[in-house]
Every structure is written in C-alpha cells, then in structure tokens.
Amino acid sequence: MRQAVKALLRGLRFAFALLWLGACSGLSQPTATPTATATSTPSPSHTPTATFTPTAPPTLTPTATLTPTITPPPPSATPTIAPPPSARLVFDNWELLDLPERIRGGISSPLVAFVSANQQQSIGNIATAQPFTGLQTVYFASPARAFSRIPVLEVESAQLLDVFLAPQGNALAFALTDENPSRAGLYILNLGLGLVARALPGEAPLLQRGIYSEPSFSPDGGQMALTAAAGFDLELFLVNTRDGSSTRLSHSEAHEFWPSWSPDGRFIAFVSDRADCPSWDPNQPDACDARSQPPPNGGHIYLHELDSGEASRLSEVKTHEAPTWISESLLAFSSGDPTNLLNPQRRIWQANIDSGEVRELRSPGDSAVSYLSEAWSPSGIRVLAQVAGAGNRVALLLADGTLVAEDSSLAFPRYGMAADWSPNGGRLAIGGSGGNCPYGARVKNGAFESIANGSPPPTMCEPKYSPDGEYLAFNGVNPRVDGRNDIYIASANGFGATSLTSDLRGQVKLIGWVGG
C-alpha cells in the first residue's frame, strides 16, 4: 500500500512538470524584469514622536475666588488741631465824655498831643518826686499859649499809654493794659461824638501771635485798620470809629500785619508772609506750624486797593519793619534783618506806586554800610540817615544816592537819631531818640547848613514839626531838675523853647500834632 502511494505521488509530480514546460514554451522570452528584490528599504528613521515635554502648568491666575473682601472700617477721624482762640472785635465798655466844644467841633489850628502819667495836682516842691497814682491823662495843648492844656482823656493804668492819632485830630486810639480782662484792650475815642469804646479786647491787644502791630487811621479818621488773630493766622480788619462796626479786609491763611494807610486813602500798605507760609493751619499739607516755628519777623510789602479790594505785592524785596508813606504816591521801606548778627546790613528803598518803580538808595562806595533812622523829605527827593559802618555819621543824600552833605560831629548811637522835616522841606530838625538826647536843638536848612546849633538844657529828642510848619515840638531833658523829661515848643528854627509840662508830675511823652 505504501508503495502504491509513493508511485502515485511520483506520477503526479511528473505530470505537473510537463504541464509547466508546455506553458513556458508558448511565450516569447520575457525581458528579464528584475524581480523586486527585497531591497532593503531603510526602515524609517525614528522620527521622534512628540515626546511629552512637560509644559509648565499654566500659572494659576487666581480666579475671583471667594476671598472675602475685607472692608476696612471707616478711617477714624484724624484728630484735627483746633486753632487757638481768635481775637474778638467788639464795641463795649463805651462811655460818653464831656469834651470842650473846641475839640468836639473839630480842631482848626494845630495842637500838641501828649500823655502824662502819675499826675499829682498838689505840688509842694518841684524837685520832689511824687507818689505813684496810676492816672494817665491825654492832653491837647496850644503851641502859642503855655500851660493851655486841654485834658481829653483820663484812664487808670499802671503803664504809660500807647496813643495813636487820626491825622485830622477827630479820633484817637489807645492800648490799655490791665490785669482785669474785662477792661484791657484797644480803645477808640471819637472826639466828634465824645464816645470812647473798646474795639479789641486783650491784655496786650497790639501783640497778636507774637507780632506787635500798631493800628493806622484813614485820612479822614472815619476808620481804623488793625491786625487781629483769626484762626491760626493774623488778618487785617477795618473798624468804624463812629459805631465800632468792623469789616474783615484780608482773607488769606498767612500772617498779615503792619497796616499803613496812604495819605489819599486809596491804599493800605501792609506786610505779609504769604510767599513763605501760605497757611499757618497745621491741618493743611505743607503748612507752617506755630507749635514748632516762630512767628515771622517780616515779609513782603503788599498794597490793598480799597476800591477794588485787590491786594498786590509791591516788590520781591523782603522787609523786617513797617513801611512808611512819604507822599500819596511814594512809599519808603527797608531791607535787612537787624537780628541777623552775621549780616546786619540795613538798606533803604523807595517805591513809586503809580509807576511801579522800586529803587534802592545807595551812595557810591557805601556797599558795606547800613542806613539807619532815615527821615525822608516831603517830596521824597532827599533823605537824612545815619550811615553806620566802620564809623558813624549823619548824612544828607538824594534819592539816587548822591551825597549832599554829612556831619560826623553828630555822634548818635545806632538807631539813636530821630529827625523831622518841615512840611515845605525847608527845615530839618535833628534830635536823639529813646532817651539818648546828647544835643540841644539842632536845625538845618535844605542844604544841610546850620540854622540852630543849641546846647542843653534842654536836650532835644523826637522832634516833630506842626502841620503848618510854624512850630517844633520835642521831648526834652533838663539835667538841672532831676533829669526829668518835659514837652517843649520852639519856633520852626528851633529857638525860644518853652516847656508845656514843667508843672506836671510823673512821666510825660510826646504823641504828636493834631488838627490844622
């Protein structure tokens, strides 16, 4: 059986071979087409699959998570610094005085005004000192009749009164110092009405926030400008001399002080520190603070025009003293801080408020000197001054600094001279100041030539010409009678000096002239 199968298989293989050969012989010989040899196809290079480079997980932008919003409690109120007490303008303590008709009806001719303290009527010996009484009396006196004194006001006060006069003599003001606050203050006396009343209470009414500032009357005497504390600063006020009504003139937050009314009533010149301290309110940013800073000792000069109510700065020059009117259009002032020991130089200036010109008076070669105690002529063309440098002399100069003349024999201490021009500028009286009265009556003409060259007694201090130029009043010391001070009247040339007060006891002080 096995053999048969093997034979069958051999036969089948033989038959298949024959069939294959026959099929091939019937075809043309084919071009040898290369058989697709198994060309080794380069296996694809391993393209790196995007390897999983771990990208930094996105920064978690915090979604508005429900973090509870903490509403801060409302800020507690920053403690506000309360201002010191402000000054109160009042109209109280009024009294009607029985004044002579000659005073009440208007003063037609010039009268000398002075104050006498510690008056005693009964005198046993002129050389004997009298006990203190505390009585202050303001007198007006005729220069033509000795001892023709008119008592205008009597006040009980421990200190000699500071008295300020209206130009026409129809009003005056005085500062009353008293331990009783209900009495102390600045008073106004309207001479036409005979009415005296307190306008500004205070033990030292002229000393506000550490600054001493005198009041100033309008030319007609109807109003008075003064400085008063308002909040943290000082402001200017106007007070009516008839009824005491007041108006606030300035509204800055700086210190405004030293008011001075122009002779024609158009302007009030004053000094302000507003360029350095726009505000003294410590609650304001960048403000000056009185708790750590001293009050100013000066500032810039401003002009307040009464009609428009506008205030403008006069110049860039700072001053440390009150300005003084020479005439309706000329204003004099000084520069230099007298408290600056390293540079105590003092300069003097003249401003024309109509043209706006401001010029310094300086004599050639005098760059290192100070000009002190100046007295300007009524026209403003000439000025007498102490020239203090290595030496100390009295010089007459023109407004442009040209030297007219000088006198080195008049040796006054610094700030120890007081001089006054006659209204027409033809006479110039030169005396001492503050009790330093070394010379008698010294009067010169406009060219600085001597007219009177008197010797004591009496000496001459604080000379003042009458408005009509006929008389010269001055404080004088008579060393032969216990060195007492009296009020003297002399002619315009300085001759014929007569005492108006030799029969009075106690202190006397010249105030000035009224009326005329």
Domains of the chain: 206-360 (2.120.10.30)
Report how far residue 45's alpha carbon sits from residue 424's, in angstroms, rounded to the nearest whole number.
123
**30-34, 92-96, 204-208, 470-474: which has the minimum mean pLDDT?**
30-34
Residue 326 has pLDDT above 70, yes or no: yes
pLDDT band at 147 (very low <50, low <70, confident <90, very high): confident
Nearest alpha carbon to residue 336 among 323, 351, 319: 319
User: Which two three-digit tokens encode residue 508?
Assistant: 């006397």
More confident residue, 128 or 354: 354
Report how far residue 231's alpha carbon sits from residue 273's, in angstroms, rounded to the nearest whole number.
16
Residue 249 has pLDDT above 80, yes or no: yes
Who's near 488: CB < 8 A, 6+ residues apart?
458, 460, 473, 474, 475, 476, 497, 498, 499, 500
User: How many CA atoms are closer than 13 Å to the CA of 278, on its beta-carbon side?
Assistant: 4
Residue 190 φ/ψ, nearest 5 degrees: -90, 110
Reply yes or no: is the peptide bond before residue 215 cis, omega within 30 of 0: no
> DSSP string of 101-165?
HHHHT---S-EEEEEEES--S--S-TTS------EEEEEEE-TTSTT-EEEEEEEE-SSPPEEEE
Residue 101 φ/ψ, nearest 5 degrees: -60, -30
The DSSP symbol for 306 reads T
Question: So what's the pLDDT on residue 178?
Answer: 84
User: Which two three-digit tokens encode residue 29?
Assistant: 């010989």
Whole-prediction pTM value? 0.80
Report how far residue 513's alpha carbon sits from residue 492's, in angstroms, rounded to the nearest whole number.
14
Residue 1 has pLDDT above 70, yes or no: no
Long-range (24+ apart) CB contacts under 8 A made by 24-28 are none
Q: Average the pLDDT over 114-118 and give the result.
A: 88
Who's near 29: CB < 8 A, 6+ residues apart?
none
Q: Average the pLDDT over 140-166 and give the result.
A: 89
Question: So what's the pLDDT on residue 130?
Answer: 53
More confident residue, 380 or 178: 380
Pairing of strands 195-201, 207-208: unpaired
Q: Which of 25-34, 148-157, 331-340 ranks highest by mean pLDDT?
A: 148-157
The residues facing 195 across adjacent strands are: 96, 190
For 365: left if phi > 0, alpha if psi spans -120 to 50, otherwise beta; the answer is left
Question: So what's the pLDDT on residue 78?
Answer: 55
Report how far residue 73's alpha carbon sits from residue 479's, in angstroms, rounded to the nearest whole number.
79
Residue 16 φ/ψ, nearest 5 degrees: -65, -35
